Amino acid sequence: MSLYLFGGAAAVVFSFVVVGLFVRRAQPARAYSRIDLFDYPLGKVVAALGVPLKLIALVLFAAMLVAGFFGDQNPYRNLAPTLVWIIAWVGLAYVSAFVGNIWPLINPWRTAFDGVEMVYRRVCGRNLALGRPYPLALGVWPAVLLLLTFSWIELVYPTPAVPLHLASFALGYSALTWTGMYLFGSEAWLRHGELFTVVFGTFARFAPTDIRTAPPKPQFRLRGFGTGLACREQISPSMMAFVLLLLSSVLYDGLIATPEWSVTESAIIARLSDVAELGPVALRSVGLLGFWLLFLSAYWMVSIIIAAVTEWQFSPRQIAQSFALTLIPIALGYHLAHYLVYFLVQGQYIVPLLSDPFGYGWNLLGTASYRPNIAIVGARFAWYTAVAAVLFGHITAVYLAHLQAMQTFSARKRALASQIPLTALMVVYTFVSLSILAEPIVERSRPSAQPSTVAENMIAIPADAVLPDPDNSHLQAIGPGKFARTKLVYRLLGSAFHDGTRMTAADLLYPYIFAYRWGVRGDGRETHYDQSIDTATAPIRRQLAGLRVVGSETASRSIRVGDVDFLREVFTIEVYTTSAPTSPEREAVPAPPWSTLPWHLLVLMEEAVGRNWAAFSQAEAVRRSVEWLDLVRSQALKERLAALSESFEREGYRPEALRTLVGVDEARRRWAALSAFYKANGHFLVTNGPYQLKSWSHDGVVLSAFRDLSYPLGVGSYDSHAIPRRGFITAVDSTGDGVRLSGDIEMIDKFQRSYRLKRVPLSSIPPDVLKRTPPECRFVVVDDRKRVVLAGAAPLGESSSFQFDFKNRLPVGRYTMFAAVTLNGNVMNADIRQIPIVVSTGAEGQGSQVSTTGTP
């Protein structure tokens, strides 16, 4: 890590040295090529596309609004989220920076207003806009406030990709934009208050073209990259604040996904129990604003230092306004690092959505069946691109800042002196950005569906909560007047199954139906009963009092290294149980709403068992003299299942219990996906796990990694589980009142695709390494009658050992302590040590004296 960080910082410093030595004067602006492409055939072709592009952009904007208000609210089936967050926000930023600013040409708000104004002028003989003079003191502060709001929606707002919410925001923004155009005229408001005009225009200063649509003659001129950023002008304070906000908001997106932020956020929210629901939103809102102010403060302090080292030739404010635009390449580099792979992969969803923008099952352009290729770029490309983009941005900024200094200061010595503080600031930016880039990704919702709330005392169960009927297994409403002892609220991150279908509420509820249908013995139901399922699901049926799917929302996350940024669905589910509340983790065990298999595969398996083709358990297979259900190796059974799946596809079959949750068309899609999966893979083992069965033989199996943009964890996230590491107790020492255990843990040496485990003493591992995967020691103490008298887990202490204090916890007597050191919760093949303990003075006395005897 240190080589990586210092290497990146050294590249920035080295670029400063090289630029300082070899760039001794700023090239005058007139020396740059300004070829007008509109004078050439290619430019004339581009000019001819102006009107069609305007109309296309206007139609897409209207389609986005209609899709948001009236279309399917699933973000993957609705045009609005993909068009707004991927194509417009990310894609147009890259076009503006690396091609040219086409936004003034395709701006739908401008097109609509200009069209209405043209009609109004012909009918009424005067302009629609009032044309009031725009207050110069306002600068671009309206755009600053709108960018802050836009960033808040993207990074803080809980449901930024819900189509209805996006359309509502877009409609409100439209009203604001057209009001500004009406009051001040379209050109004045576009330059100062229209957010996207200011954003894309700022990025376009880096572009190799300068596109101008203002009268008397449109221009499309060539120029060098970054030419628009190296100029003598001093931008306004509001524009300086805008540039710093553009810079900080992208970096803040990465910051809130780091473990450090997660720990800090959890600690603060824990203290805000009175406003638990608003805690994350309020905290991230304050963080967004504070991060921007921090960047502003740091830049202002550097401007003061530059003014001082240049003998106050210019004031700090003048310096800050002169050099602010040179930070644009850094913002662009951050944008590339965070969003490029996201754009390349997730942006492919626009292809099917153009054919079916509202999620109605249309195929207007014949592309509705297109499936994005998520392997179009790999983890290596993502990583190197991100690091290169950050360094490219900083090095370019150093070069442009030097050119600006050569133009601003008359003496070369002052110009060089002015760049030292600014380069130091860029080195700090490099450290921060590369550190965030290298951090693991921390998500707020885990695929293990850990509960977020446990409510105590008797709790009224909502009347619309459901529970499977023991007689027919259908979901029945609980009705009024029912109570539970515990309420668990799960925020469950959805995922895709191997056959490409997406998790829905039906997938989450059907396993409960399955448990009641096959775990309850009833009259005439011997063919739908399995003793093994009865035993396995008994805790669920004994404690479950009600289920309620509250709803679903989407969460947007930025995956910076080795993965992509993508939209995912978060289900909120309430589970009511009859057990006494103890802890969320313990209460979650009997009834977690998480589906490993899709409902349609469960139904197919049930049909196979119900038709006496196979049995779920080995014991039941022996009793009924049928084969044990095998979705992979039994060729005869697979052929039967394939024919059954095709039959179900034709009729859109779904069980009676799911008819209110699954429509006929959705059922047909499910069965079609399962049939296609079987034809492609030769088996029916469809799950939502991280690995997919690829091939098998008598000697072994081959698993391939399953990657989908909706999957809860990204590329590389399973490394800690793919090679489970173990811990070992190496020394046991008595400490008077307890026991101190020392040990080793396994560390992984990686070289390309080779791995080697080696045992390393805990005392020799740096604290920052231990912090990433802190080991713990789990223990059980039994008395001489083999009764458990004490149990728990201890974290690693300051002396790289585990301390156990038995003072006032154990009476006098002989005990046996069983202990094991674990990493990442791995208890497979654990090295368990048996430690005899003698307590000579116990809880009744003034203290305790503990001694250990024998060897483990």
| Interval 125-138: pLDDT, tens | 888 888 899 998 89
Residue 270 CA to residue 279 CA, distance in Å, equals 9
Position 564 confidence tier, pLDDT thresholds 50, 70, 90: very low
Mean pLDDT computed over 286-300: 91
Residue 313 CA to residue 321 CA, distance in Å, equals 14
Predicted confidence at residue 689, as pLDDT, reads: 81
Residue keyed to tokens 């590249």: 11
Phi/psi at 788 (5° precision): -75, 125
Q: What is the pLDDT of residues 183-212, one digit of tens each?
A: 999 889 999 999 999 999 999 999 888 877
* Between 486 and 268, residue with greater pLDDT: 486
Residue 272 has pLDDT above 80, yes or no: no
Question: Residue 325 has which token pair?
Answer: 């635009």
In terms of C-beta density within 10 A (0-12 exposed, 13-18 middle, 19 or more buried), how is residue 591 classed?
buried
Cα→Cα distances 266→156, 256, 259, Å: 15, 12, 10
Kind of pairing, strands 614-615 and 627-628? parallel
Mean pLDDT of the chain: 82
Predicted confidence at residue 150, as pLDDT, reads: 93
* Between 726 and 592, residue with greater pLDDT: 726
The DSSP letter of residue 633 is S
Percent of residues, the chain, with pLDDT higher than 90: 32
Least confidently predicted of 37-41, 173-177, 217-221, 438-442: 438-442
Residue 182 CA to residue 174 CA, distance in Å, equals 12
Residue 177 CA to residue 194 CA, distance in Å, equals 6
Predicted confidence at residue 446, as pLDDT, reads: 36
The runs of H, that is alpha helices, within 589-662 are 599-610, 618-624, 635-651
Predicted confidence at residue 418, as pLDDT, reads: 81
Cα→Cα distances 472→502, 517, 521, 593, 699, Å: 27, 7, 11, 21, 43
Instruction: Note whether 100 and 220 are within 8 A (CB).
Output: yes
Residue 444 has pLDDT above 70, yes or no: no
**Nearest Cα to 210, choosing from 195, 189, 196, 225?**
225
Predicted confidence at residue 457, as pLDDT, reads: 57
Mean pLDDT computed over 102-113: 91
Position 708 confidence tier, pLDDT thresholds 50, 70, 90: low
Percent of residues, the chain, with pLDDT higher than 70: 85
Residue 585 has pLDDT above 70, yes or no: no
Predicted confidence at residue 850, as pLDDT, reads: 59
Residue 340 CA to residue 342 CA, distance in Å, equals 5
Predicted confidence at residue 173, as pLDDT, reads: 95
**Nearest Cα to 32, choosing from 193, 221, 290?**
221
Predicted confidence at residue 524, as pLDDT, reads: 53
Predicted confidence at residue 454, as pLDDT, reads: 42
Phi/psi at 222 (5° precision): -85, 150
Least confidently predicted of 248-252, 257-261, 479-483, 484-488: 257-261
Question: What is the pTM for the complete model shown?
Answer: 0.57
Question: Which residues, in sequence order, are bridge partners of residue 792?
Answer: 779
Q: What is the pLDDT of residues 758-778, one digit of tens each?
A: 899 998 888 878 877 789 999
C-beta atoms surrounding 547 within 10 Å: 21
**Nearest Cα to 489, choosing from 568, 570, 567, 557?**
570
* Between 168 and 552, residue with greater pLDDT: 168
Print burial letters for 509-536: b (CB count within 10 Å at least 16), e (below 16): bbbbbbbbbbbbeeeeeeebebeebbee
* Between 103 and 47, residue with greater pLDDT: 103
Could you tell me how far CA 303 lies from the centroid of its own chain? 36
C-beta atoms surrounding 541 within 10 Å: 18
Question: Which residues, in sequence order, are bridge partners of residue 466?
Answer: 477, 547
How big is the CA angle at 308 (ends 304 and 309), to the nearest 5 degrees?
Answer: 120
- Please state whether the peptide bond connecting residue 447 to the residue before it is cis, i.e. omega within 30 degrees of 0: no
Q: What domains can you pick out in the chain, each with its CATH number? A: 1-31+235-436 (no CATH), 35-229 (no CATH), 451-705 (no CATH), 723-852 (2.60.40)
Predicted confidence at residue 556, as pLDDT, reads: 44
Predicted confidence at residue 433, as pLDDT, reads: 79
Residue 465 CA to residue 478 CA, distance in Å, equals 6
Q: Assign residue 361 a region: left if phi > 0, alpha if psi is -120 to 50, beta otherwise?
A: left
How big is the CA angle at 262 (ends 259 and 266), to the nearest 5 degrees?
Answer: 145
